[in-house]
Amino acid sequence: MDKLKRYEDWKFRMSAYDMALSIINIDKMTVAPAAGASYRDPRTAYLAGESFAIMTDPDMIPVLDAIVDDPEVDEDTRKEAATYAREIRKIQAVPKEEYVAFEEATNASYDAWLEAKNASDYSIFEPHLREMVERRRKLIEYRESTLPVYDQLLDDYEPGTSIEFYDQFFEVLKERLVPLIHRVVQAEPIEDSFLYQSFPVNEQKAWTTEVLLPYLGFAPSWGYQNETEHPFTSWTCENDCRTTTKYLEDNVISSIFSTIHEVGHAWYEHNIDPRYDGAILSTGVSSGMHESQSRFCENYLGRSLPFWQANYPSLQACFPSQLAGIPIEQFVQAVNSSRPSLIRTEADELTYPLHILIRYELEKGLFDGSIPFEQLESAWNELYERYLGVIVPNSRSGILQDVHWSDASFGYFPTYALGSAFAAQFYHQMRSDLDVDVALQEGRYTDCIDWLKTHVQQYGARYQADEIMKMATGEPFRPEYYLDYLEEKYSSLYHL
């Protein structure tokens, strides 16, 4: 068979499994009854094994290599085939049974994490965490690379990064942010208690559906929002992007900003050139780049005065007894207020990167053996006190708050902080290309999205993150944009 025909057929079969697994996972995370997990999980793991077997079919590597080397084949296809070949070489030495066992253990680990979190008891989750680290390590050790496992994990989520890269990045952050946070803590606090009155969930939902989602341009023809414990976004193709949010009755902004964030992820996937659909380039180029798009929407656009000039009147109308007496300036100050806290997903923009730094240091310690599993929780609590000055009262609001370790996503957290920093550099450039404030005020939020589409999103994984950064902003990534932005914003907000 012609190599391109064979290649297309192989991609199609894989994409069918990927689609099924993605939908099954969304279902598991949102509405699937928990008691059915023991039936579903082994079957899901079987499907993952089949998909893995197709992906690592030994006959495909020569086909991919032939495509990469054929100058008659178009550049995009050659790049795509090269990307597949690189990913397959990472995993092809892993025995299929090992991979299926990993998938099964992951499902069990997620269920245990949920149980542990509900019981606020780390000891329920600890054996699973240990197993996840060991299994992840074993899968990585099948590769030919001699780099430390955690370096390889960092590079998987953010190609080109390493422990050395992140050590430097977090050092620069720590140097400027820790003193800044200290000054903010000493400053006169911003009054924001009005955000935490009772806001009936049904009314929040109605406002989100009728006002916020349309303003964000999240159209039902390609997107759908559900509810879940831990908001996330998932997708199968350009025109099927799912997000979730979580409504809290005593916090009107939690679901608003998680919605803006997740819809930011959905926009990225939706805006990737559809010619890459169903293949490896049809995804954000890296986790950090994905997070840069969602944080851009959430913080740089969503927390700005112009954004609320368009949206605050309707929010006030929806909650007259709670917000009628609150002027917009006060509302916007309140949604930007900073206070060291316990929960990463609820953290403000300024203290957020320190939540990530803590997770980075703990993951490094787990993988180099310097932090034993049984001491992880006390190490967590200690770092929260050291960097953020907060005392962790229980496991639920401490070590068990995040889902990531339950599915072995080690090395993922650092990309959150990196993404925020990428976003600052894009924001700086976007403001010189576009009148962002007027666009937001006039309800043209999607003008900003179009800028992101043109400069970042359309490419999917066609270029590396550093190439995209250079093409979009004319220079390599520089964390100074992020630190300057935070210093300027919080100095002005707190009159420092």
Element (H, E) at 226: strand 223-227
Decide if residue 415 touches Zn ion (CB under 5 A).
no
Which C-beta is closer to Zn ion: that of 257 or that of 276? 257
* Smallest distance, Zn ion to C-beta of residue 298, A: 8
For 224, list phi and psi in degrees, rounded to 5.
-145, 135
Q: Residue 460 class from Cβ within 10 Å (0-12 exposed, 13-18 middle, 19+ buried)? A: buried
Rounded Cα distance between 116 and 123, Å, is 8
2: exposed, middle or buried (Cβ count in 10 Å: 0-12, 13-18, 19+): exposed
**What is the smallest separation between the CB atom of 410 and Zn ion, expressed in angstroms?**
17
Q: Are 188 and 494 in contact (CB under 8 A)?
A: yes
Taking a C-beta distance cutoff of 8 angstroms, is the pair 383, 358 a contact?
yes
Nearest CB to Zn ion, comparing residues 129 and 263: 263
CA distance linking residue 87 with residue 105, whole number of Å: 22
Residues 39-98 that bind Zn ion (CB under 5 A): none
Question: Minimum Å distance from CB 293 to Zn ion?
Answer: 9
Residues 154-213 that bind Zn ion (CB under 5 A): none
In terms of CB distance, is 77 or 258 closer to Zn ion? 258
Query: C-beta of 368: minimal distance to Zn ion in Å?
Result: 27
| Choices 288-296, 335-343, 375-383, 426-434 (CB under 5 A): range interacting with Zn ion | 288-296
**Residue (243 or 294) nearer to Zn ion, CB:** 294
Q: Report how far residue 144's alpha carbon sits from residue 367's, in angstroms, rounded to the nearest whole number.
A: 18
Residues 236 and 329: their CA atoms lie apart, in Å, by: 40
Distance CA 381, CA 400 (A): 12
**Orientation of helix 37-55 relative to helix 96-119, angle to 10°:** 140
Asked if 232 contacts 258 with a C-beta cutoff of 8 angstroms, the reply is no
Q: What angle do CA 420, 220, 449 make, to 5 degrees?
A: 35
> Which residue, 294 or 401, is less far from Zn ion as judged by CB?
294
β-pair partners for 437:
none
**Amino acid letter, residue 466:** D
- Output 109 or 294, the one with its CB closest to Zn ion: 294
> Taking a C-beta distance cutoff of 8 angstroms, is the pair 78, 72 a contact?
no
Nearest to 288 by CA among 415, 395, 477, 164: 415
Nearer to Zn ion, 51 or 420 (CB): 420
Phi, psi (degrees; rounded to nearest 5) at 478: -135, 115
Binding mask 292-311 for Zn ion (x = CB under 5 A): --x-----------------
DSSP-assigned states of every residue in 231-257: --EEEEETTEEEEEE--BTTBHHHHHH
Closest separation in Å from C-beta 233 to Zn ion: 7
The catalytic residue among 103, 158, 238, 262 is: 262
Among residues 294 and 351, whose Cβ is nearest to Zn ion? 294
Closest CB 352 distance from Zn ion, rounded Å:
11
For the chain, how many residues are written?
Answer: 496
Residue 301 CB, nearest distance to Zn ion (Å)?
A: 15
DSSP 3-state of 197? coil
> Angle of helix 149-157 relative to helix 352-368, nearest 10 degrees?
140
Beta carbons of 51 and 21 less than 8 angstroms apart: yes
Residue number of the CB closest to Zn ion reads 294
The CA distances from residue 101 to 20, 95, 96, 104, in Å, are: 19, 10, 9, 5
Site size with Zn ion, rule: CB under 5 A: 1
- The stretch near Zn ion (CB under 5 A) out of 186-194, 207-215, 287-295, 476-484 is 287-295
Residue with Cβ nearer Zn ion (254 or 294):
294
Instruction: Assess whether 262 carries a catalytic annotation.
Output: yes
**Nearest residue (CB) to Zn ion, 352 versus 367:** 352
Minimum Å gap between C-beta 8 and Zn ion is 32
233 Cβ contact partners less than 8 Å away, ≥ 6 residues apart: 241, 242, 243, 244, 262, 263, 265, 266, 269, 294
Give the tokens for residue 356.
């990530």
| Interaction site with Zn ion (CB under 5 A) | 294
Q: Which residues are catalytic?
A: 262
